[in-house]
Amino acid sequence: MALDKTVSGVEAACQGIEDGMTVMLGGFGLCGIPECSIGELARLGVKDLTCISNNAGVDDFGLGLLLKARQIRKMIASYVGENDEFERQMLSGELDVDLIPQGSLAERCRAGGAGIPAFFTPAGFGTEIAEGKEVRQFDGKPHILESALTADFAIVKAWKGDTAGNLIFKATARNFNPAMAMAGGITIAEVEELVPAGALDPNQIHTPGIFVQRIFQGAHYERRIEQRTISTASSNK
Of 132, 139, 201, 228, the residue at the interface with another protein (CB under 8 A) is: 228
Binding of residue 49 to another protein (CB under 8 A): no
- Write down the least CB distance from residue 126 to another protein, Å: 3
Q: Which stretch binds another protein (CB under 8 A): 9-17, 97-105, 193-201, 208-216?
A: 97-105
Per this entry, what is the length of the chain?
Answer: 237
Phi, psi of 141 (to 5 degrees): -120, 135
d(CA 183, CA 212): 10
- Distances in Å between the Cα of 138 and the Cα atoms of 25, 100, 111 are 33, 22, 20
Residues 59-78, mask of contacts with another protein (x by CB under 8 A): ------------------xx
d(CA 80, CA 54): 8
d(CA 21, CA 19): 6
Of the pair 22, 104, the CB lying nearest another protein is at 104
| Stretch 153-212 residues interacting with another protein (CB under 8 A) | 159, 169-179, 206
| Stretch 103-142 residues interacting with another protein (CB under 8 A) | 103-107, 109-110, 121-129
On whether the CB atoms of residues 83 and 105 are closer than 8 A, the answer is no
Of the pair 87, 152, the CB lying nearest another protein is at 87
On whether the CB atoms of residues 112 and 182 are closer than 8 A, the answer is yes
Of 6, 37, 50, 54, the residue at the interface with another protein (CB under 8 A) is: 54
- Write down the least CB distance from residue 229 to another protein, Å: 4
Of the pair 152, 226, the CB lying nearest another protein is at 226
- CA nearest neighbour of 179 among 191, 190, 167: 167
Q: Which stretch binds another protein (CB under 8 A): 39-47, 66-74, 91-99, 209-217?
A: 91-99
d(CA 142, CA 144): 7
Q: Which stretch binds another protein (CB under 8 A): 2-10, 28-36, 59-67, 132-140?
A: 28-36
On whether the CB atoms of residues 188 and 218 are closer than 8 A, the answer is no
Of the pair 37, 89, the CB lying nearest another protein is at 89
- Write down the least CB distance from residue 193 to another protein, Å: 13
d(CA 194, CA 185): 22
All residues at 6 or more sequence positions from 152 whose CB lies less than 8 Å from its CB, including other chains: 17, 21, 22, 23, 184, 185, 186
- The DSSP output letter for 173 is G
Give the binding site for another protein (CB under 8 A).
28-32, 54, 77-82, 87, 90-91, 97, 99, 101-107, 109-110, 121-129, 159, 169-179, 206, 223-231, 235-236
